[in-house]
Structure 1
Amino acid sequence: MLNLKQIKAISLDLDDTLWPIWPTIDRAEQVLHEWLASNAPLTAAMYASPQALREIRDAVGRERPDLAHDMTALRRESIRLALSNAGEDPQLAGAAFEVFFAERHNVSFYPDALPALEFLAARYPLVSISNGNADVSRLEVAPLFVASVSALKVGVSKPDPRIFRVAAEAVGVQPHEVLHVGDDAVLDVLGARDAGMQAVWINREQKPWPHTEKRHPEYADLSELVAALLSA
């Protein structure tokens, strides 16, 4: 059960909590490939499939652990490497990444997400917490958030408790006064708990709780969370 008397702010994960991430990435990679076909055809031919682009990104991730918290730099460096491998100008990587990044923010919200965010924002300050490079300021929901926290800014990723504590500080409350909402049992729920927050698991796929630790309140979507808050 949630202790609603303690809650003074709400933090939210972004990818797979407010929108499905892989359809978004699929579209962004397709737009990137189309741009490469027009501006760097040798690279487009060498990396003709989304899987090929992901493989080179994963390879860069293994070779550059220093970029683990910077998805933007990781993606840009993987494009630069692809261009170099194809014998084309690596300086095109910046423009190519911007094409990808713009489409990466062309998200399709879950049907329950926008009404839930409007409900929550009218009652609590909202702060986003993301391991990825989604930028709330580039989204239509930007006015609903008072702050955003990312692994890039903090230097650590969820489930490290420090990123959750930074989020609490960003909205001027203590961790135990924050309710964190996210889809990942480890990164979101256990991470927030270890930081001293309350947490709820948005389990859209009705997965079984995968851990021995005590489970937390679970909802199939954000509308169920709103209903629970209204009825409490």
Structure 2
Amino acid sequence: MLDLTLIKAITLDLDDTLWPVWPAIERAEQALLDWLARHAPRTAALQAQPAARHEIREHVNGLHPELKHNLSALRTKAIRLALSRSGEDPDLAEPAFDIFFAARNQVTLFGDVPQSLEFLAGRFPLVALSNGNADIERIGIGPYFKASLSAQQFGVGKPDPRIFRAAATAAGVQPHEVLHVGDDAALDVLAALDCGMQAVWVNRAGLPWPHDALPHQAVATLAELCGVLAT
């Protein structure tokens, strides 16, 4: 069970905790294809083939292991490679990525999230902690957060304890005073526990818990967590 007396700050995962990520990614992929169809049609035809798109991404990932946490850079390099292979202008990669990234941040928050963020931010400093490249300012939830820390920005991602400790520092507290909240059993919950934090598993899909070590609390929604913290 949670020890509410210890909590002085909350770190929050983003993708699949505050919104479903794959609908946003799929919309962004389509926005990118639509833009390429107008500006680089041969590349659009190549990118429309799932096998080719996967091969290009894997090739870029293999060439640039140092960028494994920088999803934006990897995406841009993959677009550039597709343009080059198609005989079209590789300098279109940056504006093409801008189209993708704008759509990637057009997320649909889970219904309980806006009110829950308002509740949580009114009681604790909140720090966004994500392995993804979502931009909380573009999404419109930036005012709720004291800080935002991503693997892309920090250079390592969850479950590395360094990014959890950095998030605690950003909140102005010690790790044991942090409650981390996220949907991923390993990257969020187990990793936070290993750092001495309390951890809440947001299990919107009603899945069975897959590990021996347990979260301090499991909830189906952020609203349920707010109810726990209000007691």
**Could you tell me the TM-score, scaled by structure 1's length?**
0.96
What amino acid is the match of 1:160?
D
**Residues 69 and 157 in structure 2, CA contact (< 8 A), matched pair in contact too:** yes
Q: Kindly tell me: are residues 59 and 118 of structure 1, through their superposed partners in 2, closer, same or farther at Cα, counting changes over 3 Å?
A: same
Q: CA deviation at 1:63?
A: 2.9
Q: Secondary structure at the match of 2:6?
A: coil
Map of 1:134 onto structure 2? 134
Map of 2:100 onto structure 1? 100
Q: CA deviation at 1:143?
A: 0.6
Q: Kindly tell me: are residues 2 and 216 of structure 1, through their superposed partners in 2, closer, same or farther at Cα, counting changes over 3 Å?
A: closer
What amino acid is the match of 1:199?
A
- Alpha-carbon distance in 2 for matches of 1:120, 1:4: 13
Map of 2:72 onto structure 1? 72
- Alpha-carbon distance in 2 for matches of 1:198, 1:75: 34
- Which deviations, in whole Å up to 9, do the C-alpha atoms of 1:160-194 show, x marking residues without a partner? 11101000101111011110000000000011111
Q: CA deviation at 1:212?
A: 1.9
Map of 1:53 onto structure 2? 53
Q: Secondary structure at the match of 1:129?
A: strand
Q: CA deviation at 1:48?
A: 1.6
1:78-117 matched pairs, under 5 angstroms: 78-117=78-117
Q: Kindly tell me: are residues 52 and 220 of structure 1, through their superposed partners in 2, closer, same or farther at Cα, counting changes over 3 Å?
A: farther
**Residues 209 and 215 in structure 1, CA contact (< 8 A), matched pair in contact too:** no
Map of 1:44 onto structure 2? 44
Q: Secondary structure at the match of 2:5?
A: coil
Q: How many residues align?
A: 231
**Residues 17 and 182 in structure 2, CA contact (< 8 A), matched pair in contact too:** yes
Q: CA deviation at 1:110?
A: 0.4
- Alpha-carbon distance in 2 for matches of 1:54, 1:106: 24
Question: Identity across aligned pairs (percent)?
Answer: 60
Where structure 1 has 5 or more consecutive residues not aligned to the other structure, the ranges are: none
Q: Kindly tell me: are residues 136 and 50 of structure 1, through their superposed partners in 2, closer, same or farther at Cα, counting changes over 3 Å?
A: farther
- Alpha-carbon distance in 1 for matches of 2:74, 2:131: 13
Map of 1:216 onto structure 2? 216
Aligned alpha-carbon RMSD (Å)? 1.3
**Residues 9 and 126 in structure 1, CA contact (< 8 A), matched pair in contact too:** yes
Q: Kindly tell me: are residues 26 and 50 of structure 1, through their superposed partners in 2, closer, same or farther at Cα, counting changes over 3 Å?
A: farther
What amino acid is the match of 1:76?
T
1:1-232 matched pairs, under 5 angstroms: 1-49=1-49, 52-231=52-231
- Alpha-carbon distance in 2 for matches of 1:109, 1:50: 28
Q: Kindly tell me: are residues 135 and 50 of structure 1, through their superposed partners in 2, closer, same or farther at Cα, counting changes over 3 Å?
A: farther
Where structure 2 has 5 or more consecutive residues not aligned to the other structure, the ranges are: none
Q: CA deviation at 1:59?
A: 3.1
- Alpha-carbon distance in 1 for matches of 2:21, 2:51: 16
**Residues 46 and 53 in structure 2, CA contact (< 8 A), matched pair in contact too:** no
- Alpha-carbon distance in 2 for matches of 1:8, 1:214: 21
Q: Kindly tell me: are residues 174 and 67 of structure 1, through their superposed partners in 2, closer, same or farther at Cα, counting changes over 3 Å?
A: same
- Alpha-carbon distance in 2 for matches of 1:181, 1:49: 37
Q: Kindly tell me: are residues 227 and 55 of structure 1, through their superposed partners in 2, closer, same or farther at Cα, counting changes over 3 Å?
A: farther
**Residues 43 and 88 in structure 2, CA contact (< 8 A), matched pair in contact too:** yes
**Residues 81 and 90 in structure 1, CA contact (< 8 A), matched pair in contact too:** yes
Q: CA deviation at 1:139?
A: 1.9
- Alpha-carbon distance in 2 for matches of 1:163, 1:139: 22
- Alpha-carbon distance in 2 for matches of 1:106, 1:51: 26
